[in-house]
């Protein structure tokens, strides 16, 4: 959790996604251990499973917003039409 919090405090969207993915992996490993060693009576996995669902939703929202942000940053190359080229012919070395 300490590493996850350090990544979240970066403020960068990419690092927050990485922190969420790291926490998600950790929670999945914990629930697997609980199921493997049959410790459901001592450690009910309900809260952990709920947190996993929340993280999955949060990650998908952050990825969508990151994709939207990167698509806004990209510029498409403008191509001059033949009419535009005819309007202003380029002059050679004068």
Q: How confident is the model at residue 93 (pLDDT cuts 50, 70, 90)?
A: low
Q: Which domain holds residue 14?
A: 1-57
- 68: in domain: no
- 10: in domain: yes
- 43: in domain: yes
pLDDT by residue (tens digit) across 6-55?
777 767 888 888 889 999 999 999 999 999 999 999 999 999 999 999 99
User: How many domains are contained in the chain?
Assistant: 1
What is the per-residue DSSP string for 23-73? Answer: HHHHHHHHHHHHHHTT-TTTS-THHHHHHHHHHHHHHHHHHHHHHHHHHHH
- Under 8 Å between Cβ of 48 and 30: yes
Q: How confident is the model at residue 5 (pLDDT cuts 50, 70, 90)?
A: confident
CB proximity list for 66: less than 8 A, separation 6 or greater: 13, 14, 17
- 23: in domain: yes
Q: What is the pLDDT of residue 27?
A: 96
- 88: in domain: no
């Amino acid at each position: 959790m300490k590493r996850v919090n350090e990544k979240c405090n970066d403020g960068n969207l990419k690092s927050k996604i990485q922190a969420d993915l790291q926490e998600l992996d950790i929670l999945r490993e914990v629930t697997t251990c609980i199921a493997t060693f049959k410790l459901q009576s001592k450690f009910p996995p309900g809260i952990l499973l709920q947190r996993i669902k929340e993280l999955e939703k949060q990650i998908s929202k952050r990825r969508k917003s990151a994709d939207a942000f990167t698509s806004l940053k990209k510029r498409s190359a403008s191509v001059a039409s033949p009419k535009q080229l005819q309007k202003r012919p380029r002059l050679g070395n004068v």
